[in-house]
Amino acid sequence: MTELIRADHLTRHFKIGNALSRRTLHAVDDVTFAIGEREIVALAGESGSGKSTIARLLARLYSPTSGTITFAGRDARTFRSRKDHLRYSSEVPMVFQDPFASINPVFRVSHGVLRSLKLHRPELSGAERQAEAERVFDVVGLKPDMLQRFPYELSGGQRQRVGFAQALAMKPKLILADEPVSMLDVSIRIGLLNLMAKLRDSEGVSILYITHDIASARYVADRLIVMYAGQIAEQGPIEDVLSAPKHPYTQLLLSAVPDPRAPLAEVTDRGEPPRVVDPAPGCRFRWRCPLAIDTCQTVTPVLADLVPGHEVACHVAQSGAEVKAFVS
Amino acid sequence: MPELLDVQGLCVDYVLPGGAVRAVDDVSFTVGRGEFLAIVGESGCGKSTLLFAVAQLLAPPAEVTAGTVTFTGANLVGLTDKELAGVRWRNMSVVMQSAMNALNPVKSIGAQFKDALRAHGVSERASVRARSAEVLKMVGIDPVHLGSYPHQLSGGMRQRSMIAMAMLFTPDLIIMDEPTSALDVVAQRALMVQIKELQREFGFAIIFVTHDMSLVSHFSDRLMVMYAGQVDELAATRATFERPRHPYTRGLLEAFPSIRGPKTPLRGIPGNPPDLATPPSGCRFHPRCPYVVDMCKTKEPELYPADDSMVRCLRIADGSLT
């Protein structure tokens, strides 16, 4: 697998409070991962786990507090010129969660596609831009006459396809898709997931698929990264992680997925959100973990390979003990 | 035994300048005491409008144009707010979709409980305090949070305090409109288990609206599937999951990827839900239906009994689709 983008020790903190109580929210803390070419990586975790912050860091909407992003072999901190920045933002576009808010309602949908083509691919003539817009609409499964529609004339699923068409027009290498299907109806979600797989297989695009829906992640992704409280709890090939989850949090997450085909699993956890404001050292999951040992109270676990390619940040799992915190 | 709630032939129209749009079309169902009825469907299928009609909370341009809502023996349709006030909250309460927005952000939880209690005749300070603390404990929140403001609580706690509020008078029926949709899976599961436990303990009936069928699979007694303002299938929950009858229900169940078992390519349901201003002729699902035949395009199906289910499908009715 050729590496396309990598994040090393990526960290993003936010200052909160006022002059009398200065506190720091650790949205993303020391996160290291890579995404290969032609790969869909699912980033899963509960709300507040830092998933969207990672997408925004990769899109360079936020600058990291520390840590680096390396894209196609080049450190993103060395981007200086407008040309560098434009090139990066065209190769790493974002598709947003809410298709009702992310398309300008007063323009035809062609506006967004043509405008980004003009900005990012100035070598194209007007006619070529139109042809390219029609091509990307065709790829995402929209008829060319849809270009002339206004957003209000399109359904949620069609709008989200417009979002992917806009991203695709820029000849992207990596699409950052932040919960692209969570606002859509169940019956049309699968269509969008199939589209993502098609973009990988026939257009050669990598996708970072941010979601809290593990089942949809399994359907489309090659690898899974599970986030908890701003840190990576577990990552690896998705079938490995789902068939043999090693981190207690991953096990909890899997046991809570509603599945009509399986009996109801016993879960006593309340789903209280993690504390990420000025966190003390130690495992951030220890408050909810039935297996927590003394080390977990004081030492922050780091990701380590359990089997090659399958990494877990858990003291208990790393000690070689069998982790069975929650049964799914 | 008479049913707790009996809805017959309910129609709700949105009266717009361009003509009326029928959002709920001839819906009939009953809810027994202590029953858990789930209503599922896509956005725009009329499920929230139906809930609002049952609770008599519709505001113009929406209005009930036909049918009855009989609750504990009395028809609620056409009653004035004053007449409804005795029923609301005491006998029937509603948990709104998003607790993030349904709670007043500038009032403490306790103050909001007090408002509800006072408006319904409990004003003595000691009983207000005692009852507020009691319901909060029932949903597993420390009563110290009566002094907390909504922003100080997590999403799950806010949603649970909404449910506590709905239980202030231990009503016979609690109507819930997607109460878990803003929560992540772990909190969602915990809330569902809690709702079920409370129901077992206090015996109220629940109407639970959701777009996520798999969520209620282990919790509801009966399942009602809505499509384009109509009931498509009404049956025991387990029966529907084991043997979905209506093509739309089949499609919905096949649209869920699973975290277990072999990975199979899924198709979802092609097309989009219809615009209710111009519903398709014949069966409303026919443009998206994989089993469509000619008669579906012209003849409007009714709800037909099929085994223990009620199904709105012509081909199920004549036995050509099993």
pLDDT at B2: 67
B217 contact residues in A (CB cutoff 8 A): 258-260
pLDDT at A279: 85
Q: How far apart are CA B19 and CA B42, in angstroms?
A: 24
pLDDT at A241: 94
Q: How confident is the model at residue A48 (pLDDT cuts 50, 70, 90)?
A: confident
Q: Spell out a b/e string for A106-136, using b for 16 or more CB atoms within 10 Å of the CB, else e.
A: eebbbebbbebbeebeeeeeeeebbebbbeb
Q: Pairing state of beta strands A66-71 and A40-44?
A: unpaired
Q: Give the residue on A whose Cα is nearest the Cα of B190.
A: A270
A260, B212: Cβ pair inside 8 Å?
no
Q: How far apart are CA B10 and CA B65, in angstroms?
A: 8
From the centroid of its chain, how far is CA B168? 20
Query: Helix/strand/coil (H, E, C) string of chain A?
Result: CCEEEEEEEEEEEEEECCCCCCEEEEEEEEEEEEEECCCEEEEECCCCCCHHHHHHHHCCCCCCCEEEEEECCEEHHHCCCHHHHHHHHHHCCEECCCCCCCCCCCCCHHHHHHHHHHHHCCCCCHHHHHHHHHHHHHHCCCCHHHHHCCHHHCCHHHHHHHHHHHHHHCCCCEEEEECCCCCCCHHHHHHHHHHHHHHHHHHCCEEEEEECCHHHHHHHCCEEEEEECCEEEEEEEHHHHHHCCCCHHHHHHHHHCCCCCCCCCCCCCCCCCCCCECCCCCCCCCCCCCCCCHHHHHCCCCCEEEECCEEECCHHHHCCCCCCCCCC
Is the pLDDT at A194 greater than 60? The verdict is: yes
Mean per-residue pLDDT over chain A, rounded: 89
Q: How many CA atoms lie within 13 A of A179 on its CB side?
A: 20
Q: How confident is the model at residue A88 (pLDDT cuts 50, 70, 90)?
A: very high
Is the pLDDT at A152 greater than 90? The verdict is: no
Quote the tokens at residue B219: 């919790």
Q: How far apart are CA A191 and CA B271, in angstroms?
A: 10
Is the pLDDT at B121 greater than 90? The verdict is: no
Is the pLDDT at B181 greater than 70? The verdict is: yes
B269, A262: Cβ pair inside 8 Å?
no
The pLDDT tens digits of the residues spanning B196-226 come to 999 999 999 999 999 888 889 889 999 999 9
Quote the tokens at residue B42: 């896509």
Q: How far apart are CA A139 and CA A127, in angstroms?
A: 19
CA-only gyration radius of chain B, Å: 21
B74 to chain A, minimum CA–CA distance in Å?
Answer: 36
More confident site: A273 or A247: A247
* Angstrom distances, CA of residue A83 to CA of A121, A122, A184, B61, B106: 12, 12, 36, 53, 48
Is the pLDDT at B1 greater than 60? The verdict is: no
Tell me, what amino acid is at B34?
A: G
Mean per-residue pLDDT over chain B, rounded: 88
pTM of the entire predicted model? 0.87
Tell me, what amino acid is at A53?
A: T
- Asked if omega into B61 is within 30° of 0 (cis), the reply is yes
B261 to chain A, minimum CA–CA distance in Å?
Answer: 10
| Average pLDDT over every residue of A116-140 | 93
pLDDT at A49: 86
**Residues in chain B whose Cβ is within 8 Å of chain A:** 42-43, 140, 154-157, 183-191, 193, 211-215, 217-218, 241, 251-253, 255-261, 263, 265-270, 272-273
pLDDT at A129: 94
Q: How confident is the model at residue A38 (pLDDT cuts 50, 70, 90)?
A: very high
Q: Most A CBs within 10 Å: which of B256, B264, B267, as the mutation test of the A interface?
A: B256
Of B252, B237, B248, nearest to B308 (Cα)? B237
Give the containing element (helix H, strand E) for B116. Answer: helix B109-119
Q: Give the residue on B whose Cα is nearest the Cα of A274.
A: B154
- The answer for residues whose C-beta is within 8 angstroms of residue B288's C-beta and 6 or more apart is B248, B251, B269, B270, B271
Q: With contact defined as beta carbons under 8 Å apart, do A142 and A148 qualify?
A: no
Is the pLDDT at B145 greater than 60? The verdict is: yes
pLDDT at B99: 65
Q: Most B CBs within 10 Å: which of A98, A159, A187, as the mutation test of the B interface?
A: A187
More confident site: A208 or B90: A208
Q: Give the residue on B whose Cα is nearest the Cα of A253.
A: B186
Q: Most B CBs within 10 Å: which of A186, A212, A213, A226, as the mutation test of the B interface?
A: A186
pLDDT at B180: 81
Q: How far apart are CA A256 and CA B218, in angstroms?
A: 12
Of B254, B253, B223, nearest to B238 (Cα)? B223
Tell me, what amino acid is at B299?
A: K
A190, A256, A260 ranked by CB distance to B266: nearest: A190
B252, A259: Cβ pair inside 8 Å?
no
Q: How confident is the model at residue B39 (pLDDT cuts 50, 70, 90)?
A: very high
Quote the tokens at residue B90: 């005491």
Q: Most A CBs within 10 Å: which of B45, B139, B145, B185, as the mutation test of the A interface?
A: B185
| Average pLDDT over every residue of B125-139 | 90
Q: With contact defined as beta carbons under 8 Å apart, do A216 and A186 qualify?
A: no
Q: Give the residue on B whose Cα is nearest the Cα of A239.
A: B259
Q: Helix, strand or coil for residue B196?
A: helix
* Angstrom distances, CA of residue A270 to CA of A211, A249, A257, B184, B214: 20, 13, 14, 11, 20
From the centroid of its chain, how far is CA B59? 18
Q: How confident is the model at residue B48 (pLDDT cuts 50, 70, 90)?
A: confident
pLDDT at B33: 92
B155 to chain A, minimum CA–CA distance in Å?
Answer: 9
Q: With contact defined as beta carbons under 8 Å apart, do A292 and A286 qualify?
A: yes
B218 to chain A, minimum CA–CA distance in Å?
Answer: 7
Q: How far apart are CA A225 and CA A269, in angstroms?
A: 22
pLDDT at A132: 94
pLDDT at A303: 92
B228 to chain A, minimum CA–CA distance in Å?
Answer: 14
B156 to chain A, minimum CA–CA distance in Å?
Answer: 7
Q: Give the residue on A whose Cα is nearest the Cα of B160.
A: A270
Q: How confident is the model at residue B41 (pLDDT cuts 50, 70, 90)?
A: confident
Q: Give the residue on B whose Cα is nearest the Cα of A49.
A: B184
Quote the tokens at residue B274: 């219809």
| Average pLDDT over every residue of A142-165 | 89
The pLDDT tens digits of the residues spanning A165-183 come to 999 999 999 999 998 888 7
Q: How far apart are CA B33 and CA B54, in angstroms?
A: 16
Q: How confident is the model at residue B315 (pLDDT cuts 50, 70, 90)?
A: very high
Is the pLDDT at B101 greater than 70? The verdict is: yes
| Average pLDDT over every residue of A198-202 | 93
Q: With contact defined as beta carbons under 8 Å apart, do A108 and A100 qualify?
A: no
Quote the tokens at residue B230: 């109509």
A155, A215, A272 ranked by CB distance to B272: nearest: A155
Instruction: Say how many C-beta atoms besides its own lie within 10 A of residue A75's C-beta.
Output: 11
Q: How confident is the model at residue B100 (pLDDT cuts 50, 70, 90)?
A: low
Task: Report how many Cβ contacts below 8 Å link chain A to chain B.
Answer: 130
Q: Give the residue on B whose Cα is nearest the Cα of A264.
A: B218
B184, A186: Cβ pair inside 8 Å?
no
